[in-house]
Structure 1
């Protein structure tokens, strides 16, 4: 079962952008995320439309953070990604004729709604600033410094 890791990847990239001294290219981010620069540009376009990042073209251009990390929640970023499905689980059929399957769907629906509400609530409660603070605490604890390019060099 393939997982959609865009939210995790975008949050990762956004924290690195917040630490960067200048613009970071799609190519640099693509190497870090082990994907194609076109994929990065497509994902980042949604973040730009939401006002979280900005892009500059040309020599010396790239992506930069355009928001206050304390005012953006994980849910905001999730929404900017188009609110991808949170769970890979689902019903065998959406409108079953079988009474057993109807009972199964009913039980699963309740569980899915509860799990989704819990996850959405958590995403709304955590800001990018809190992620950044956790990251900085981990940096201090390990004595490491962060360099986007060096941290993700192959």
Structure 2
């Protein structure tokens, strides 16, 4: 079963766009994601419809952010991408008259609904700026680790 990675991938793209502070072409984004520029344009178009990015045509054109990462939550981007179901687990409906199937589906539906509500609430509390700050910390740690003298050579 294939998973939907659009949210993760678009969060990645948006943070890169913020860091580079210049237009990012669909071709550049496609190379970064290992996909086709048409897929990038289609997906970025969804973000454009919600006002998170804009596009400019021409030689110096490309995609740019229209608002701060602090003004975007993970939930905002999830919803802009079409808010597909969080879970790919489905219910069996082969025998709707079966009381066991009814009991199983009722229990699973309750569990899925509760889990999805919790996840969406948490996505709404995390901004892209917080993700970018986490990246900055990780990057600084990597630089510090690389600059530290090797204890084995001493």
Q: Same fold (TM over 0.5)?
A: yes
Residues 1:27 and 2:27 are matched in the alignment: yes
Residue 54 of structure 2 aligns to a residue whose secondary structure is: strand
For this pair of structures, how many residues does the alignment match?
A: 144
Match of 1:17 in 2: 17
**Runs of 5+ in structure 1 lacking a partner?**
145-154
Match of 1:67 in 2: 67
| Closer, same or farther: CA 125–95 of 1 in aligned 2, 3 Å | farther
C-alpha distance in structure 2 between counterparts of 1:123 and 1:95, whole Å: 36
Q: Report deviation, 1:138.
A: 0.9
Structure 1 residue ranges (4+ consecutive) displaced by more than 4 angstroms after TM superposition? none
Q: Report deviation, 1:71.
A: 1.4
C-alpha distance in structure 2 between counterparts of 1:7 and 1:119, whole Å: 14
Match of 1:54 in 2: 54
* Higher relative contact order (Cα pairs below 8 Å, separated by 6+ residues): 1
| Closer, same or farther: CA 99–39 of 1 in aligned 2, 3 Å | same
Q: Report deviation, 1:94.
A: 8.0
Q: In angstroms, what is the RMSD of aligned CA positions?
A: 1.4
Match of 1:101 in 2: 101
Greater C-alpha Rg: 2
Moved more, 92-101 or 116-125: 92-101
1:69-89, Cα deviation, whole Å (9 max, x unpaired): 111110000010010121110
Q: Report deviation, 1:49.
A: 1.1
Match of 1:151 in 2: none
